[in-house]
Copies of this chain bind each other. A is one copy, B any other.
Amino acid sequence: MGARLIAIYRVRSDASSILQRARAIAVEQSVEMPVAAITDASVLTDIVGQVEAIEPAPDGAASDGVFTVRIGLSAATVGRDAGQLVNMLFGNTSLHDDVVLDDVVLPDEIAGAFPGPRHGLQALRQRVGAGPRALTCSALKPQGLPPRALADLARQFADGGVDYIKDDHGLADQAYSPFAARAEAIAAALAPYRATTRYAPSLSGDLDTMRRQLGVAAAAGIDAVLVAPMIAGLANFAALVRDHPGIAFLAHPALAGASRIAPPLLLGKLFRLLGADATVFPNHGGRFGYSPETCRALARAALADWHGLRPCVPVPAGGMTRDRVGEMLDFYGRDIMLLIGGGLLQARDNLTAETAAFVAEVKSHG
């Protein structure tokens, strides 16, 4: 029998039904047909999903009816395709309201099929001469501004000494700010700051379009990009990483959904596995509802020793402000990138000074 990956689900069920429900998930995520109708012996032994364990979920008493279910799935069904990985883990079961995909244990043959971060935490620090401190980041917005106005904002951020500047993930290839014109204008504005500040434009469109945008960016001297893997499709994100080893990839959580795939798994482990050098996620206490525990688990998943992958930089964001810098560094430690976007832009004419104050606070912390 070949290697198996273990998909770990949280299933809402009463205790008397959970074994039947777990077996149904094992079938749904593998052969997707009545097992009694399968005549091939190797399919029955190698391919049909197996219920490996069922236990009450740690944070939901069995009386509440939430169980942790471990299902073994054939690694041979996945091959080396990131799209097929998520299809096997959660394709049909995502349509069931009573199941969350909580975690996964991968055999080496699947983990080894994906590169993980090509750069990761240490390289992102080195690029901007940061040393072992937390990194800083801000965002170019609002969408609707022309390239020149965005480039002007970028210059002010760079004057303030921020390490990374990313496009707002809503910036695409709009008529009022085409990708090429924007990337080139901002790259030109930031050229004098290359030792200390780097820019990550946001890619959009189909895989061909993203590749063209990457070509434009690379020609302008840009060496980092922002991609939303759930919009791009996981296999396409993996292809971009594979084909552009010199580029750092920041993953954006757009369309990642609030509650059906656990954020530490999707934004921490899986995006990292496919090659995210940094992963943006909603910090607790901001505009989104992630709990401190979710955020801590996500950051740990992105950084922990796992299949020999380089650490992926956690980037908590979403309504962050300068007055939270100290608290966030205490919470996450220094292996992190702090992203404050709108909170800096609110300073308007004092954007450079506000950015400099943010950067100084990060550098002076602890």
CA distance A356 to B206 in the complex (A): 42
Instruction: Tell me if A288 is interfacial: C-beta within 8 Å of chain B.
Output: yes
Q: How far is the CB of A155 from chain B (nearest CB, A)?
A: 16
Q: Is the CB–CB distance between B43 and A142 below 8 Å?
A: yes
Tell me the residues in window 182-209 of chain A with beta carbons closer than 8 Å to chain B beta carbons: 204-209
Given contacts A38-B142, A206-B239, contact A256 B95 (CB under 8 A): yes
Q: Is the CB–CB distance between A37 and B206 below 8 Å?
A: no
Q: How far is the CB of A255 from chain B (nearest CB, A)?
A: 5
Q: How far is the CB of A229 from chain B (nearest CB, A)?
A: 9
A173: contacting residue among B36, B81, B287, B347, CB under 8 A:
B81
Return the chain B residue nearest A45 by Cβ.
B144
Instruction: Tell me if A61 is interfacial: C-beta within 8 Å of chain B.
Output: no
CA distance A68 to B91 in the complex (A): 29
Q: A59-98 CB contact bits vs B (8 Å, 1 = yes)?
A: 0000000000000001011010101101110111111111
Q: How many residues of A contact B (CB 8 A)?
A: 87
Return the chain B residue nearest A79 by Cβ.
B174
Return the chain B residue nearest A347 by Cβ.
B37
Q: Is the CB–CB distance between A30 and B170 below 8 Å?
A: yes
Q: Is the CB–CB distance between B348 and A254 below 8 Å?
A: no
| CB-defined contacts of A173 to chain B, threshold 8 Å | 79, 81, 84
Interface centre among A77, A83, A175, A348 (most CB of B within 10 A): A83
| CB-defined contacts of A94 to chain B, threshold 8 Å | 254-258
| CB-defined contacts of A208 to chain B, threshold 8 Å | 207, 239
Q: A82-124 CB contact bits vs B (8 Å, 1 = yes)?
A: 0110111011111111100000000000000000000000000
Return the chain B residue nearest A149 by Cβ.
B40
Q: Is the CB–CB distance between A231 and B86 below 8 Å?
A: yes
Return the chain B residue nearest A341 by Cβ.
B33
Instruction: Tell me if A159 is interfacial: C-beta within 8 Å of chain B.
Output: no
Instruction: Tell me if A234 is interfacial: C-beta within 8 Å of chain B.
Output: yes
Q: How far is the CB of A156 from chain B (nearest CB, A)?
A: 13
17 sampled A-B residue pairs with Cβ under 8 A: A32-B168, A33-B142, A37-B345, A43-B142, A43-B144, A47-B142, A47-B143, A74-B144, A77-B172, A77-B174, A79-B174, A81-B209, A87-B170, A92-B253, A97-B258, A205-B235, A209-B235
Q: A97-B259, A97-B289 are in contact. List 14 more A-B contacts (CB 8 A).
A: A37-B348, A40-B145, A43-B144, A81-B172, A81-B205, A83-B204, A83-B205, A87-B169, A92-B318, A94-B257, A95-B289, A231-B234, A236-B236, A258-B260
A-side residues, CB < 8 A to B, are: 24, 28, 30-34, 36-40, 42-43, 46-48, 74, 76-77, 79, 81, 83-84, 86-88, 90-98, 141-145, 149, 168-170, 172-176, 204-209, 228, 230-236, 238-239, 253-261, 282, 287-290, 318, 341-342, 345-348
